[in-house]
Copies of this chain bind each other. A is one copy, B any other.
Amino acid sequence: MAISNIRYGEGVTKEIGMDLQNLGARRVCLMTDKNLSQLPPVKAVLNSLAKCGINFQMYDSVRVEPTDQSFLDAITFAQKGEFDAYVAVGGGSVIDTCKAANLYASSPTSAFLDYVNSPIGKGKPVSVPLKPLIAVPTTAGTGSETTGVAIFDFKELKVKTGIASRAIKPTLGIIDPLHTLSMPERIVANSGFDVLCHALESYTALPYNMRSPCPSNPISRPAYQGSNPISDVWALHALRIVAKYLKRAIRNPEDREARANMHLASAFAGIGFGNAGVHLCHGMSYPISGLVKTYKPKDYNVDHSLVPHGLSVVLTSPAVFAFTAQINPERHLEAAEILGADIRTARIKDAGFILADTLRKFLFDLNVDDGLAAIGYSKADIPALVKGTLPQERVTKLSPRPQTEEDLSALFEASMKLY
């Protein structure tokens, strides 16, 4: 298991200029999105770069929930710039875009599909050296500062997919909780649901010693290895923080303790799922995001319709864990207890229902849209949603319980309405 370097503390962003000097960087690419380019996190980075006299170019056209097109645009910028270091300031959309820009600028003869996960792309291993990338997360969140994953929406296929390689893991993640203070309520909520699902899915993923086939050479092991005693530590710890702080972080923008703890939980859950993997909530979320019709979430300052990633994963979570619980009910019950369920008289065979109920209550308390129907889907969309899930076997095969197409249909159907 591999974990990137992270630096944590209020105000540590001010050191980023020195970090770049220490790396010997002479042409830095600073990536962010249009909304963030006007906000304190980017200002803090710009201040530090100015103070250290760092030569940089800024790219602020990252698309929120990136697509193949928006990745390519950033890649073109990176290729032209001949940069020797990258800085990504933003949520998963920015960090993922920057990872892709660094990768393809470092590998100019590769076709875009070369590194995209199979079966959609070729899933080639990365053997070129990349430039250093410093990630400054501003959501809490994807944990993308700790993972070797970059996700995008493949427009043609209307499905999300990604690139997964240890090579694109950031060199350093700067976790400065001050950056979370500017997040509006729904962005805290949705990115927090992502943390919740990273923790729950990696804790319940197929155990590492039950994956098959077992690769004959350790170098062929996937990044996502299944749940294991090390990722379990991170997943459980992140889950405990979510249980204690997510509601507070959402409800009170001034609650620094809660927002700082969620910022750390995001990295912790990232380290956990970055090694163990995620499974059905994430696998099913990709078509939920990819097939979006007209949904425009509150608090997102963007001009296109989108289902925020965290919302797209959490809406199926009650159905998913009710389905998977029969494999490792103890862990499902333990998760429910951490999230506040009273399990003193619970029967182990009810673990799935109990966790599902706990999640539904959690979401209801936080005014989450009432299921897939509330974000524009109906029964008629289920075949397309299932079809979009099938190519996500990189993650769905980490589900502790194998699933047929009928199972997937039933899970989408059960997620249409939550309350």
Contact = CB atoms under 8 A, between A and B. Distances in A.
A295 interface: no
A9 to B, nearest CB: 7
A268 interface: yes
A380 to B, nearest CB: 46
Interface in A1-52: 1-3, 5-9, 15, 18-19, 22
Given A18-B217, A217-B18, A217-B22, A233 B6 contact: no
B217 A8 contact: no
Given A5-B2, A237-B233, A268-B233, A18 B219 contact: yes
Q: Which of A9, A219, A229, A237 has the most CB atoms of chain B within a 10 A radius of its CB?
A: A229
Chain A: number of interface residues, binned into ranges: 20 to 34
Q: Is the interface of A mostly helix, strand, loop or mixed?
A: helix
A5 B225 CA distance: 14
A209 B22 contact: no
A208 interface: yes
Copies, count = 2
A218 B18 contact: yes
A237 B233 CA distance: 8
A9 B233 contact: no
A264 interface: yes
Given A9-B208, A22-B219, A230-B268, 18 more contacts: A1-B6, A1-B8, A2-B3, A3-B3, A8-B228, A8-B229, A8-B230, A9-B209, A15-B217, A18-B217, A18-B219, A19-B218, A22-B217, A22-B218, A230-B264, A233-B233, A233-B237, A233-B268
